[in-house]
């Protein structure tokens, strides 16, 4: 019962700031036990959401450990903010901060990428040629947006010829907004889709479709705007009850849907998108689109022995970890957290919040020679914006159970203003607290 209370309290701390109660002091949970003394050498690959949260938590938990974090990216990107930038609600600097500013004292930052990972030799080689040995390795590299896999696409096209790319970073999200703003003035045909690989925030393509519909309505141009969503498989969203709700809302809003269409190419000159379908390639014209590429593991992980060796993810390269402990199944001193983890759900920042303490707990237990009971249940959260000022706070687990943080208060499948506030206002503060290891 105590565990359940703590779980609920902690989850509320993550989500429960929408009403303005920025209760981060309470978000850290129960007082921490005395630090564990150790000389362990811990290397974290990636200083994004998961790597930064892990570094901050380990510093609080361990006394004497050598902690090194490796990442070449100087800018920290709050990616849930990209959708708000692409909706014209925030400027391009809203998601951006400095990687270094989030890292605790006592952690060494190597500002290079990892080029090679050698889990047999317990070492990493950086892009600059440094060899970094470890006792424990935390993979937190996020994922690679595989733009090259989209035939005909070039990043310089974004913002021209009706091409948007919300995922491509804050500046490109701002260019996407300019394109969407123009499109909803002028009218024409919008074509939206998602890749067939695993992806981060699978709700984001759906949200952007809703937002385009909403802007066209607000501007009075909806009658001149034809909106189409091409699902990669047989449904719009992997959780059946959420899929059904989105399908009904799309029906209601006049968004046309097609299934089993996987985007493969774009021809900006002719304004044509090609999809592969079970019946062969199909072309469709467009006036506005949001290109979302296939997503795979970064090369350093993909080319290492760490990915799944069989099954549906072989081509995508996600790290082969136990879905409950996030420990690598073949290399027990390696853990994966965040988007790189090869687990069936969880490529959201909200999942990072639940994954990092679990991996941390197992690592610290290893150091102490104990066993940790901590498990991750697949918790994934997606504030699914359905119009400006309304969202559905969709939360679920590995079993596709809905796991609402506020049962009886915030209905997960209702379009609510409070759920919108979670996304627009509360999520960033909570995300920042998570980075600091406080939520
Ligand atoms: C448009 C969009 C909307 C989203 N909306 C939401 C939302 O509403 N709610 C939500 O919870 N989540 C949302 N997300 C998802 C969320 O942002 C990610 O799931 C989260 O950032 C994952 O954290 P991460 O640490 O695994 O990866 P990241 O935060 O991407 O960090 C990965 C880090 O690893 C580094 N790295 C990569 N390769 C290497 C290497 N070889 N060596 C060293 N370092 C490396 C990168 O430079 C980067 O700094 C959204 C994402 C996008 C793009």
The closest-lying atom of ligand 1 relative to the alpha carbon of residue 86 is: 1
Atom of ligand 1 nearest to the CA of 76: 49
> What atom of ligand 1 comes closest to residue 72's alpha carbon?
47
pLDDT digits (tens, 9 = 90+) for 365-375: 999 999 999 99
pTM score: 0.94
Strand 288-290 and strand 188-193: the pairing is parallel
Write the residue with the smallest CA distance to atom 29 of ligand 1.
48
The pLDDT of residue 6 is 45
Ligand 1 surroundings by CB, under 6 angstroms:
45-51, 70-71, 73, 79-80, 82-83, 113-114, 140-142, 166-167, 200-201, 204, 298, 300, 338-340, 347-350, 352, 381, 383
Counting beta carbons within 10 angstroms of the beta carbon of residue 20, is it exposed (0 to 12), middle (13 to 18) or buried (19 or more)?
Answer: exposed
Of all protein residues, the one whose alpha carbon is nearest to atom 8 of ligand 1 is 80
Q: Specify the pairing of strand 123-126 against strand 131-133.
A: antiparallel
Q: Which atom of ligand 1 is nearest to the CA of 49?
A: 25
pLDDT in the model for residue 359: 98
Q: What is the pLDDT of residue 408?
A: 81
Helix (H) or strand (E) holding 419: helix 417-421
Output the residue whose Cα is nearest ligand 1's atom 37. 141
Tens digits of per-residue pLDDT, 339-363?
Answer: 999 999 999 999 999 999 999 999 9
Average pLDDT of every residue of the chain:
93
At 65-123, the pLDDT tens digits run 999 999 999 999 999 999 999 999 999 999 999 999 999 999 999 999 999 999 999 99
Asked if residue 355 lies in contact with residue 326, where contact means CB atoms within 8 angstroms, the answer is yes
Low-confidence ranges of the chain (pLDDT < 70): 1-32
Distance 295 CA to ligand 1 centre (A): 12
pLDDT at residue 32, as a whole number: 62
Please name the residues in contact with 66: beta carbons below 8 A apart, sequence gap of 6 or more.
Answer: 39, 40, 41, 42, 108
């Amino acid at each position: 019962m105590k565990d359940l209370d703590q779980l609920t309290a902690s989850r509320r701390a993550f989500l429960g700031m929408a009403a303005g109660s920025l209760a981060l002091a309470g978000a850290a949970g129960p007082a921490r036990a005395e630090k564990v003394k150790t000389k362990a050498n811990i290397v974290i690959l990636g200083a994004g959401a998961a790597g930064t949260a892990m570094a901050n938590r380990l510093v609080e938990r361990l006394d004497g450990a050598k902690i090194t974090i490796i990442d070449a990216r100087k800018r920290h990107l709050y990616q849930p903010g990209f959708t708000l930038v692409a909706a014209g609600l925030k400027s391009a600097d809203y998601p951006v901060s400095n990687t270094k500013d989030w890292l605790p004292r006592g952690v060494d930052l190597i500002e290079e990428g990892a080029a090679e990972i050698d889990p047999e030799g317990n070492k990493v080689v950086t892009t600059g040629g440094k060899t970094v040995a470890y006792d424990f390795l935390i993979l937190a590299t996020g994922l690679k947006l595989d733009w090259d896999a989209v035939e005909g696409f070039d990043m310089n096209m974004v913002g021209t010829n009706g091409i948007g790319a919300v995922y491509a970073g804050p500046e490109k999200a701002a260019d996407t907004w300019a394109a969407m703003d123009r499109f909803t003035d002028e009218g024409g045909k919008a074509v939206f889709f998602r890749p067939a690989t695993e992806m981060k925030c699978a709700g984001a393509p759906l949200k952007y479709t809703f937002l385009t519909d909403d802007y066209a309505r607000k501007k009075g141009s909806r009658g001149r705007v034809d909106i189409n969503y091409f699902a990669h498989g047989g449904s719009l969203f992997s959780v059946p009850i959420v899929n059904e709700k989105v399908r009904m809302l799309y029906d209601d809003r006049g968004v046309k849907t097609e299934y089993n269409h996987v985007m493969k190419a774009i021809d900006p000159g002719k304004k044509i998108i090609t999809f592969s379908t079970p019946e062969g390639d199909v072309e469709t014209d467009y006036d506005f689109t949001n290109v979302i590429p296939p997503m795979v593991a970064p090369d350093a992980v993909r080319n290492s022995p760490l990915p799944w060796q069989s099954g549906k993810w072989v081509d995508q390269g996600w790290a082969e970890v136990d879905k409950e402990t996030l420990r690598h199944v073949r290399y027990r001193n390696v853990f994966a957290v965040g988007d790189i983890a090869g687990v069936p759900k969880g490529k959201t920042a909200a999942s990072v919040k639940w994954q990092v303490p679990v991996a941390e707990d197992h690592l610290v237990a290893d150091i102490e020679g104990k066993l940790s009971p901590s498990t991750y249940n697949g918790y994934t959260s997606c504030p699914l914006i359905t119009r400006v000022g309304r969202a559905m706070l969709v939360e679920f687990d590995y079993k596709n159970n809905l796991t609402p943080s506020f049962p009886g208060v915030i209905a997960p499948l209702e379009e609510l203003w409070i759920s919108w506030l979670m996304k627009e206002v509360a999520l960033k503060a909570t995300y920042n607290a998570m980075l600091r290891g406080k939520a």
